[in-house]
Structure 1
Amino acid sequence: MTLTDIAVQNLQRRKGKTIFLLLTFILVVGLTVTLNTLAKSMRDDLQKSLTQYGANVVITPKSEHFTLSYGGLSVPGVNYEIKRLNYNIVAKLENDQELAINGIAPKIIGSVAGGKKRYLIIGVDFSSELKMKPWWHIQGQEPRDREVIVGSDLARQEALVIGNTLELNHQKYPVVGIMQETGGSEDNGVFTNFKTSRTLTGIDSWSMIELNTTQPDKTAALLSELLPEAKVAELSQLVQGAKESVDRFANFSLFASILLGVIGVLIVFVTTTGNINNRVAEIGIFRAIGFRRRHILSLLIREIALVSIFGGVLGYLLGKLTPTLLGPIVFQKTVSFQVHPLMALATICGSVLIGVLSVLSCKRAVDLDPLVALSSI
């Protein structure tokens, strides 16, 4: 019979204490893995949203602003030395691999006189724009040359439907589509392609360039050096609230994991110490029949190692399954079940390390003289 066989039999004889220790490892590891899995999933979802949807960096022409003040009373100022965003900027951005750009959406924005008022003209590349803004939905078709799409509010105000015409610069332009309501300034705009917008507005440079990049802060810093004639802004405010919520939950997960770890260590140490101290007579018998100190220490380590390994494995699986099963119900989000080998190895090794240290802290009972141990029988 090997020491491992004896360790297994000892665990079977003390089912209550074995189950208690096993549940301690399972709950501590399971809760820790659950919290960290949810935090990682939220971070991944946020990063995915930043990568796939919407612009997070905006480039606009740089201008100097002059403000007047008379007697402490400020009056509206004027912009001067307005720079231009030449058309070759887009090609420059597309060819720069260091920027890590996922999407580019340049625009030509201006105003044009109509029959009764002035209209906001927005020239875009619809293929690029719809990829960056999946919430845009067009009833009708994309405009070709000398065709336009109108925003939902503008269509409602002027009773425009597909097939009508809109007078711009004393010329008629067919309305081939209506932009569904977005809740933004697009609802009052007139959309067309670049060629038609240049003809209508007379603008021969980009009014704005929206970018989607995986690293908006780094990209914004690089663009400020690459394009001195432009003003580069990172739209961090669009996701600042979500990012702060994710960071708070991640910090809470870290704090809770540390707290659970401390509680688990204390429970394991107290339980193991009490268990070994109650087995002084058993240890004395082992010593009397020829077991050496290292044999007894090895036996105790094998017992706690078996419990901690099973507890770590079951706790890790529980921690991965819980977000997958309860995520759609409790957190209103789907969390896929994924096994991370490094996390699994770290949690199992941590469990075993805690168990082994709890046994080593009771080395005094192992070193007890056999006669003293037998005298307690």
Structure 2
Amino acid sequence: MTLTDIALQNLRRRKSKTAFLLLTFIVIVSVSVSLTALTKTMRDELQKSLSQYGANIVITPQAEHFTLSYGGLSVPGVNYELKHLDKDLDSKLANAATDLGITGIAPTIIGPASGFKNHYLIIGVDFPTELNMKPWWHIQGQLPKDGEIIIGAGLAQRDQLSIGSTLSLNGQTYPLVGVMQETGGSEDNGVFTTFKTARSLTGSDSWSMIELNASQPDKAAARLSKLIPQAKVSELSQLVQGTQESVDRFANFSLIASLLLGITGILIVFVTTTGNINDRSAEIGILRAIGFRRRHILSLLLREITLISLCGGVLGYLLGELLPTLLGPVIFHKNVAFQVQPLTALAALGLSVLAGILSVLSGKLTNRLAPGSITPQG
């Protein structure tokens, strides 16, 4: 009979104490895993919301403004020393996107163009990127290629234009291949096209504006202001930023709660294991009398606590991942998918087993196993 067999028999004989220790590990691990899963779900929802709300940082050219005032009467001032956004700035931002937490980059070219009777606002964008960042853009027709345009709903109504019509801009005719549905913003009166066509119409070779979507806009904006001092970096206030603060507070609460539960669990396991050793003095004395050495008894106790903590960690992890799935729609009004996260599972099992081993290897227990500390009884 091996030490493992003896450990299993000891656990079966002490069913109530084994069940108590097992339940302790299950509760602590399940609550910690549940809080971690909920925090991850809330962060994922926040990231999804950030994408849906569009850009939260806007980079524009830096310009010095001079305000005129005569006798206390302010009149419109002038901008001078207007700095341009280099056309390779989007590539630099893309290279630093991971460090800055940037999930979306949408540069834009904006400029005027003349028609037969009216002046038009030309907006050059990368449509796949722009549509991904602004899901409220809905286009009837097709996306334009070089030499083609789409227009806003307000402009289409004003000039009585529709898909298949043409629009004269700077003396050239451009086919209209799509109409953007009404958004209630400046897009309703714009003329949208590709970068190449926009540069041809506006004569501009630099970006007029770059919109960014960042997971932490306040930190990203601060770093971008130092990274590109020649540009003006503005952070846009969004309702979703209030959710960011709530998620951060919940994450801090989860961390503190998990630490307190872990400390409490270690103390419970320590006290329970210590009491178990005291109750088993006669048994341990008999084992020492028949030839078991101190390391054999210590190994036996470690096997017992390892089996309990390992089973408790596995059951606790599974329960911890299942609880948010069951209670999420009721308590948090969110659907939480059941996911097996290898890193979380490994951490839960490792810490659970470590807590059990530390409780046995504590100084008080090892002193009780010292030679001569336990004598045969009976």
TM class, shorter-length: 0.7 to 0.9
Q: Structure 1 residue 271: deviation in Å?
A: 2.3
Q: Structure 1 residue 259: deviation in Å?
A: 1.7
**Residues of 2 paired with 1:272 and 1:72: CA distance?**
83
1:17 to 1:152, Cα distance in 2 relative to 1, 3 A: farther
Q: What percent identity do the matched residue pairs reach? A: 65
1:24 is aligned to: 24
Q: Structure 1 residue 116: deviation in Å?
A: 8.7
2:352 is aligned to: 351
2:81 is aligned to: 81
2:96 is aligned to: 99
Q: Return 323-332 or 346-355, whichever deviates more.
A: 323-332
CA displacement, residues 293-346 of structure 1 (integer Å, 9 cap, x when unaligned) = 4443333332222211221232233334445666677563554624425x4444
Computed over aligned residues only, the root mean square deviation of the Cα atoms, in angstroms, reads 4.3
1:259 maps to 2:260: yes
Q: Structure 1 residue 27: deviation in Å?
A: 1.8
TM-score by length of 2: 0.75
**Residues of 2 paired with 1:145 and 1:29: CA distance?**
58
**Residues of 1 paired with 2:286 and 2:196: CA distance?**
96
1:95 to 1:263, Cα distance in 2 relative to 1, 3 A: closer
User: 1:109-188 residue pairs with structure 2 within 5 A?
Assistant: 109-111=110-112, 119-143=120-144, 148-155=149-156, 161-163=162-164, 175-188=176-189
1:281 to 1:84, Cα distance in 2 relative to 1, 3 A: closer
Pick from 71, 87, 90 the counterpart of residue 87 of structure 2: 90
CA displacement, residues 329-366 of structure 1 (integer Å, 9 cap, x when unaligned) = 7563554624425x444433322232233334345655
TM-score by length of 1: 0.75
2:339 is aligned to: 337
2:12 is aligned to: 12
Q: Structure 1 residue 28: deviation in Å?
A: 0.9
1:109 to 1:29, Cα distance in 2 relative to 1, 3 A: same
Q: Return 147-156 or 252-261, whichever deviates more.
A: 147-156
Q: Output the amino acid matched with 1:246.
A: V
**Residues of 1 paired with 2:366 and 2:198: CA distance?**
84
1:303 to 1:279, Cα distance in 2 relative to 1, 3 A: same
Q: Structure 1 residue 167: deviation in Å?
A: 7.9
1:209 to 1:300, Cα distance in 2 relative to 1, 3 A: closer
Task: Look up the SS of the partner of 1:84 in the other structure.
Answer: coil
CA contact (8 A) 1:224 1:230 kept: no
Q: Output the amino acid matched with 2:375.
A: P
CA contact (8 A) 1:22 1:311 kept: yes
Q: Return 61-70 or 4-13, whichever deviates more.
A: 61-70
**Residues of 1 paired with 2:354 and 2:206: CA distance?**
65
**Residues of 2 paired with 1:358 and 1:290: CA distance?**
25
CA contact (8 A) 1:224 1:232 kept: no
User: 1:53-64 residue pairs with structure 2 within 5 A?
Assistant: 54-55=54-55, 58-64=58-64
Q: Structure 1 residue 207: deviation in Å?
A: 2.0
Q: Structure 1 residue 65: deviation in Å?
A: 1.1
Q: Output the amino acid matched with 2:339.
A: F
**Residues of 1 paired with 2:91 and 2:52: CA distance?**
17
CA displacement, residues 127-167 of structure 1 (integer Å, 9 cap, x when unaligned) = 44335444422101234577543323555677654356678
Task: Look up the SS of the partner of 1:90 in the other structure.
Answer: coil
CA contact (8 A) 1:327 1:335 kept: no
Q: Return 150-159 or 298-307, whichever deviates more.
A: 150-159
Q: Return 332-341 or 296-305, whichever deviates more.
A: 332-341
**Residues of 1 paired with 2:250 and 2:24: CA distance?**
24
Q: Structure 1 residue 273: deviation in Å?
A: 2.7
Task: Look up the SS of the partner of 1:370 in the other structure.
Answer: coil
Q: Structure 1 residue 56: deviation in Å?
A: 5.7
Task: Look up the SS of the partner of 2:143 in the other structure.
Answer: coil
1:250 is aligned to: 251
2:33 is aligned to: 33
CA displacement, residues 175-215 of structure 1 (integer Å, 9 cap, x when unaligned) = 53221244543234332345665676565653223356899
Q: Output the amino acid matched with 2:78.
A: V
CA contact (8 A) 1:99 1:222 kept: no
**Residues of 1 paired with 2:251 and 2:273: CA distance?**
32
CA contact (8 A) 1:99 1:213 kept: no
Q: Output the amino acid matched with 1:332.
A: K
CA contact (8 A) 2:34 2:324 kept: yes
Task: Look up the SS of the partner of 2:87 in the other structure.
Answer: helix
CA displacement, residues 205-245 of structure 1 (integer Å, 9 cap, x when unaligned) = 532233568998679847865x6643344668686334333
Q: Output the amino acid matched with 1:370.
A: T
Unaligned runs of 5+ in 2: none
**Residues of 2 paired with 1:68 and 1:133: CA distance?**
38
Q: Output the amino acid matched with 2:5.
A: D
CA contact (8 A) 1:280 1:365 kept: no
Task: Look up the SS of the partner of 1:231 in the other structure.
Answer: strand
Q: Output the amino acid matched with 1:357.
A: L
**Residues of 2 paired with 1:364 and 1:145: CA distance?**
82
User: 1:288-327 residue pairs with structure 2 within 5 A?
Assistant: 288-323=289-324
Unaligned runs of 5+ in 1: none
Q: Output the amino acid matched with 1:264.
A: G
Q: Return 304-313 or 72-81, whichever deviates more.
A: 72-81
